[in-house]
Amino acid sequence: MTLPFFPPDLFDEDRAELLDIVRRVGLAAEQKFILGDQTARFEAAIRDSVDAADAIACGSGTSALTLVLRAMGVGDGDEVIVPAFGCAPLAAAPASLGATPVFADIDPRSMVVDPDTVARLVTSRTKVIMPAHMFSVMADMPALRRITSGAGVRLLEDSAVAQGGTLAGTPAGRWGDAGVYSFVQVKTFGMPGEGGMVVTDDPELASAVRMLRNHGQDGKNRFLYHRVGYNSRFDEIMAAFQLHRFPGLPGRLARRARIGEYYTERFADLAGCGVLAPPPAKDGRCYYVYSLLAERRDELRAHLAARGIGSHVYYPAPLPRQPAFARYTRPSDTWPAADLAARRTLAIPIYPHLTDEQVERIADAVCEFAKES
């Protein structure tokens, strides 16, 4: 039986509810398909779940990053420090505003941004430091908070992969001036569509993001544009669907954590065989993706595929090595840990409805490769 990396039946149990939501929203008297009561209720649920002052639903996690940076006044001549290893929006969001993404290398084991490197990259042009949680590990937010406070710059926490995670008692997304979540299908609170959320205690940031997401309107006076904004509005059907699924999120997160902890225990003695598991811990873990570091990554991937087990490479090249962002680098710049991660990282399935037998089968296959190679 094939075990895909991303399951096609992720929302099967909710199919009837989703169809009913489509009918109810479509036939409602107000005919409100974006930014209506469902979105407001969803924002309130997320806001209250992390004890934030405000939560603003946006069209995607990517646009949420862009809106917050814009609200923070990021623009031409500014620098935003981002991880060298991660998803394109980390660099694309500041670049789209005319700012320069400055790439900081990562910790070679955890694959999150290295605070010491970040501190060395701060200049008089630095406007924002934007760390991202990676795979199953949250970034060192206490250290990054100290750096931003000392430098007098803003901290934007990309928590797209970490919703539900906590570090030192503080939820992911709540360490910075603002945090961002993503609801695209593969995330821990994914949905069958695009969507994102900004959480913040800063009323000025919240007001600006709320206005920018809707073409610069204030929500009270339609067709009165206070700022040049964007179309980054949240869908009412998806808001209702996420409200339906929200009570089950803690259980799904707990299942992911149990799978991740089992993997880590099983793989603890494989480092000498060329397969390295994420650092063992409970605090600061989110288990969006469980990514190994394998010296012979492509061979391990083929080994798993031959046994019907899907896997995925996040990411095949560091951001500063991508053609789109090469112009923001210098020939002398190096990111050795990010380069090594790009060559070695391989993610294995960790979705919550894997059975214990399936999880054991995956772990057995990894151990077989490592110990027999």
- The tens digit of pLDDT for each residue in 139-166 reads 999 999 999 999 999 999 999 999 999 9
CA 35 – CA 52 distance, rounded (Å): 20
Residue 260: the pLDDT is 97
Residues 6+ away with beta carbon under 8 Å from 283: 166, 167, 168
Residue 64: the pLDDT is 97
CA 323 – CA 346 distance, rounded (Å): 23
Burial class (CB in 10 A: 0-12, 13-18, 19+), 234: buried
User: For 3, which DSSP code?
Assistant: B
CA 287 – CA 325 distance, rounded (Å): 28
Angle at alpha carbon of residue 298, lines to 293 and 299, rounded to 5°: 100
Residue 32: the pLDDT is 87
CA dihedral 74, 205, 114, 296 (to 10 degrees): -90
For residue 165, the tally of other CB atoms under 10 A from its CB is 24
- Asked if 82 and 102 count as a contact pair (C-beta separation under 8 A), the reply is yes
Supply 151's token pair. 């430098």
CA 103 – CA 86 distance, rounded (Å): 11
Token pair 């929200």 is found at 246
CA 238 – CA 229 distance, rounded (Å): 22
CA 92 – CA 24 distance, rounded (Å): 37
Residue 221: the pLDDT is 83
CA 118 – CA 130 distance, rounded (Å): 10
Q: Which domains does the chain have, with CATH numbers?
A: 12-247 (3.40.640.10), 248-372 (3.90.1150.10)
CA 293 – CA 247 distance, rounded (Å): 34
Query: 94: closest CA among 139, 56, 127?
Result: 127
Residues 6+ away with beta carbon under 8 Å from 261: 282
What is the tally of helices (H) and strands (E) in the chain? 12, 12
Residue 373: the pLDDT is 66
CA 31 vs CA 43, 56, 58, 115: distances in Å: 20, 21, 20, 48
User: For 134, which DSSP code?
Assistant: B
CA 57 – CA 347 distance, rounded (Å): 29
Residue 88: the pLDDT is 97
pLDDT < 70 positions in the chain: 373
Query: 212: closest CA among 87, 81, 74?
Result: 74
Query: 189: closest CA among 86, 49, 52?
Result: 49
